[in-house]
Copies of this chain bind each other. A is one copy, B any other.
């Protein structure tokens, strides 16, 4: 079996890889569409990878395009481990149309969960209020509504939703999650509802987190109706996709304090244009689709690939395998 990955990725995992798949032939991609096998150059047309690993470093180093090209040109690939968590980019549909299995990444769930909890807490515990008092040299108490007494509504309960729940539940919050099937979720969750029922949960939610994939069912779901149902002063955090939100309706909602704050990492148009209204709105925090930018992604991505390779070889279910319906295929 041939596995294709970047030279840098192989450098990091070679030893562990040899234990998981001792018989694998590892082809490595270097810059300028050059490949190596066992330390020697090999022509692109001579390689025939069954597994292609689109590791995080391939995104940064510019080899992603050539790995993707191999994925599309050869007939052999049966499985690819990707670094993305969302697969609304059309390239993933092309891959699945070829019959290649895709396992998505959960590596970014950790920093995204940190982002969500850090932003929510910093809006609940009076940090900005204390800073304003400090600037005035004023020694004054800052009573506040405890995080422990807040109710959270989380739309989407995949890897990211789970990582958020793990971190926020120990604060004692009440957590309602929205997911396709209203299955029980044990101690992490107080209530599970479906997307159709979200309107009934919005009036009580102090913090609303959008951690959903973008698809025909979710596109534009945060519309005027949605914002009018929100609790005044509540916090909206979007780390899903910009397309979930009707941005004009959000602006009108903020004027009514529904929501009272919006923490937005994703937008309908990215990069956000310099003249967009979000930038200087006093109730909006803009971040540049960068909630995932923690320094632990590379390690977690390596670990995930190795575990999924073990599962692939053992014919066990892969972690985070994408369903064809996620890219609009039947």
Among A137, A142, A296, the one with the most B-chain Cβ atoms within 10 Å of its Cβ is A137
| Interface check A24, CB cutoff 8 A | no
Collect the chain B residues with CB atoms within 8 Å of residue A110's CB: 146, 148, 172
Across the interface, do A127 and B122 meet the contact criterion of CB distance under 8 Å?
A: yes
Across the interface, do B114 and A171 meet the contact criterion of CB distance under 8 Å?
A: yes
**Residue A121 contacts which of B118, B172, B286, B290 (CB distance < 8 angstroms)?**
B118
Which residue of chain B lies nearest to A299 when distances are taken between CB atoms in the complex? B149
| Interface check A141, CB cutoff 8 A | yes
CB-CB contacts below 8 Å: A248-301 with B: 270-272, 274, 279-280, 285-288, 290, 293-296
Q: Given known contacts A148-B110, A287-B142, is B130 in contact with A122 (CB within 8 Å)?
A: no
* Count of identical protomers in the assembly: 2
User: Which size class do A's interface residues fall under?
Assistant: 35 or more
Collect the chain B residues with CB atoms within 8 Å of residue A146's CB: 110-111, 114, 294-296
Across the interface, do A143 and B293 meet the contact criterion of CB distance under 8 Å?
A: yes
| Interface check A19, CB cutoff 8 A | no
Collect the chain B residues with CB atoms within 8 Å of residue A122's CB: 118, 121-122, 127
| Interface check A73, CB cutoff 8 A | no
| Interface check A14, CB cutoff 8 A | no
Cα of A138 to Cα of B144 in the assembled complex, Å: 32
Collect the chain B residues with CB atoms within 8 Å of residue A167's CB: 170-171
Across the interface, do A295 and B127 meet the contact criterion of CB distance under 8 Å?
A: no
Cα of A305 to Cα of B38 in the assembled complex, Å: 72
Q: Given known contacts A122-B118, A294-B148, is B141 in contact with A285 (CB within 8 Å)?
A: no
Across the interface, do A127 and B137 meet the contact criterion of CB distance under 8 Å?
A: no
Q: Given known contacts A142-B287, A145-B295, A167-B171, is B121 in contact with A279 (CB within 8 Å)?
A: no
Q: How far is the CB of A298 from chain B (nearest CB, A)?
A: 11
Cα of A117 to Cα of B125 in the assembled complex, Å: 10
Cα of A119 to Cα of B134 in the assembled complex, Å: 15
Cα of A118 to Cα of B147 in the assembled complex, Å: 10
**Residue A141 contacts which of B130, B171, B288 (CB distance < 8 angstroms)?**
B288
| Interface check A124, CB cutoff 8 A | yes
Across the interface, do A118 and B114 meet the contact criterion of CB distance under 8 Å?
A: no
Residues of A within 8 A of B (CB): 110-111, 114-115, 117-119, 121-122, 124-125, 127, 130-131, 133-135, 137-149, 166-167, 170-172, 270-272, 274, 279-280, 285-288, 290, 293-296
Extra inter-chain contacts (14) besides given A114-B171, A134-B285, A137-B279, CB under 8 Å: A111-B144, A111-B148, A114-B121, A118-B121, A121-B122, A142-B293, A143-B290, A143-B294, A144-B294, A144-B295, A146-B295, A148-B294, A166-B170, A167-B171
Of all A-B residue pairs in the complex, the 7 with the closest CB atoms, nearest first, are A146-B294, A118-B125, A139-B271, A118-B121, A122-B122, A141-B290, A143-B293
